[in-house]
Amino acid sequence: MNVKKVFTVVGLLVIAVFTLWIIYFFYQRHVYVITDNAFERADVVDVSVQDVSGKITKLLKKEFAPVKKGELLFTVDDSIYRKDLQSLESQISAMELKKKSLEVKLSRVKQQLPLEVKIKERQLSVAEKELKKLYLAEKMAEVDYKTSVAQAKAAVEASEKALLSAQTNLSFWKNRYNRYKRLYGKRVISKEQFEEIENGYKKAIALFASAESKLKSAKENLKKAESLKSRVEQIKVSIKEAKKRVDEAKLAVSLAREDLKKIQELENSIKELEKNISALKEKKAKVENLISYCYVKSPVKGVIAKKWKEVGDFVSPGLPVYSIYSPESFYVLAWIEEDKIPYVKVGANVKAELEVCGKTFEGKVTSVGTSAGSIFALIPRDTSQGEFTRVTQRVPVKIKLENVPLKCIKPGTNVTVYIRKE
């Protein structure tokens, strides 16, 4: 009898528990949208080289190891780029030395050439002034020549009228002549002054001599007048030589002014060098960037999810060496049946059970997909021929959980989610 009661009580308890479980089961589905088609997700970053290629020389991180943002992950052989950098630095150094040499030369030429032009222009001015003086001297010599001839003739005529006065006059001019001759010898008086006295003295002699022989005096005075003609000829020769000096001075000025073009040529050469140096420096900066790209650092703080390469492997842009996921980007991606999506709203409270650590965490819905996942299938269903079987489609829902420890974040593992209906 007691056994029957025990079995009865146990049976009633089993029925009660089963009934409660049924009630709880339907209550849960009444209050929540539930699915176990959910997975842990995180943003995965594939780390590769940028704009360079070569063999991997160092791998500094192992799989599943934590990594900080900016931490060095691996290095690539940069010997080729360093040779290019050394060559560019040598070229830049050589061009900068050449530029400095040209700048020194330009500074010297800027001071020297304009000064040479001024000197040549001054020499030309002196030569032109000398030529003008010779032209003036030629005119004066011609006038002196003509005047002397006229005076000589007049003296011949006058000597006949004043023989007595000519003797007194001769004595007077002789004394003056001797005195001025001493002064001229000491360079106290000018040549023109001395010649004037000399002419006066000659006139006195002519006057005195005319008394003795008019013809003889006339011939002597004529010879003296002709001697002045030779002086005119000498001045003409000097004028010819002066013209030659003027022409040479003009040529020298022209050449000196032509040399001024060297200043512009040097300035253009320096500008061209500056352009070349600037272009080489740009190349150097690019090579330095390429060298820096050979030392690859982590773009994010996270965990190494996968190591794709080994030391010695060849790597180029687009070929990942590491894959890193960031725990900070952790979320849960749940696939909800299309007929339950109307109950799921952004901001709805969520409970999620992470099977990797067997713990439940709370969170909220952050976004609801706008299309079913089948849209993005590699081989979409073709129902155009009428072969159609209705299959409930699922829509992706993103969920952000709170206070999930790092040990529970394993992207790709299963999750059971409970989304409170709105």
Per-residue pLDDT of 231-257, as tens digits, reads 878 888 888 898 898 898 889 888 888
- Output the pLDDT for position 163: 60
Same domain, 202 and 153: yes
d(CA 87, CA 284): 9
Same domain, 112 and 260: yes
Tell me which residue of 166, 196, 169, 204 sits closest to 180, measured CA to CA.
196
For residue 49, count other CB atoms closer than 10 A to its CB: 22
- Output the pLDDT for position 383: 57
Same domain, 311 and 336: no
Q: Which residue has the tokens 């209050």?
A: 31
What six digits make up the tokens of 257? 């002014």
Same domain, 247 and 138: yes
Q: What is the mean pLDDT of residues 47-74?
A: 90
Question: Residue 53's domain spans which residues?
Answer: 47-77+294-324
CA distances from 110 to 90, 107, 245, 264, 297 (A): 30, 5, 28, 10, 54
DSSP 386-419: S-------EEEEEEEESS--GGG--TT-EEEEEE
Residue 411 maps to a domain: yes
- H or E element at residue 8: helix 2-31
Mean pLDDT of the chain: 83
Q: Does pLDDT of 344 surpass 60? A: yes
Tell me the whole-structure pTM to 2 decimals.
Answer: 0.57
- Output the pLDDT for position 192: 81
pLDDT tier at 414, thresholds 50, 70, 90? very high
Same domain, 104 and 133: yes
* pLDDT tens-place string over residues 354-387: 998 889 999 999 999 887 766 665 556 655 555 5
146-150, 260-264, 388-392: which has the minimum mean pLDDT? 388-392
Q: Does pLDDT of 59 surpass 80? A: yes
Could you say which of 265, 282, 309 is where a domain stops? 265
Could you say which of 304, 324, 344 is where a domain stops? 324
Same domain, 352 and 311: no
Instruction: Measure CA 202 to chain center.
Output: 86
CATH number of the domain encompassing residue 358: 2.40.30.170
Same domain, 254 and 196: yes
Tell me which residue of 171, 220, 228, 226 sits closest to 200, measured CA to CA.
171
Q: What is the mean pLDDT of residues 30-41?
A: 84
* pLDDT tens-place string over residues 156-166: 566 556 566 66
Residue 219 maps to a domain: yes
Going 181 to 176 to 143 to 210, the CA torsion angle's sign is negative
Count helices and strands in the chain by DSSP H and E runs: 6, 14
Residue 151 maps to a domain: yes
pLDDT tier at 272, thresholds 50, 70, 90? very high
Task: Please report, as a single letter, which amino acid is at residue 341.
Answer: I
- Output the pLDDT for position 135: 86
Residue 144 or residue 39, greater confidence: 39
Helix (H, G, I), strand (E, B) or coil at 19: helix
pLDDT tier at 155, thresholds 50, 70, 90? low
Same domain, 244 and 329: no
CATH number of the domain encompassing residue 188: 1.10.287
Specify the number of domains making up the chain.
3
Residue 282 maps to a domain: no
Could you say which of 214, 246, 265 is where a domain stops? 265
Q: Does pLDDT of 28 surpass 70? A: no
For the chain, report the end-to-end CA distance as a whole number of angstroms: 53
Task: Name, of 12-16, 70-74, 113-117, 336-340, the range with top average pLDDT.
Answer: 70-74
- Output the pLDDT for position 215: 56
Q: What is the mean pLDDT of residues 37-41?
A: 90
CATH number of the domain encompassing residue 59: 2.40.50.100
Same domain, 40 and 62: no
Residue 285 maps to a domain: no
Q: Does pLDDT of 329 surpass 80? A: yes
Same domain, 163 and 193: yes
Tell me which residue of 290, 270, 236 sits closest to 81, measured CA to CA.
290
Same domain, 64 and 181: no
Tell me which residue of 362, 418, 349, 346 sits closest to 30, measured CA to CA.
418
d(CA 319, CA 322): 9
pLDDT tier at 184, thresholds 50, 70, 90? confident
Residue 109 maps to a domain: yes
Pairing mode, if any, of strands 314-315 and 331-337? unpaired
- Report H helices in 32-68: none
d(CA 393, CA 376): 12
Q: Does pLDDT of 21 surpass 80? A: no
Residue 116 maps to a domain: yes
State the helix-helix crossing angle for 191-212 and 163-185, rounded to 10 degrees.
150
Residue 18 maps to a domain: no
- Output the pLDDT for position 374: 65
Same domain, 39 and 72: no
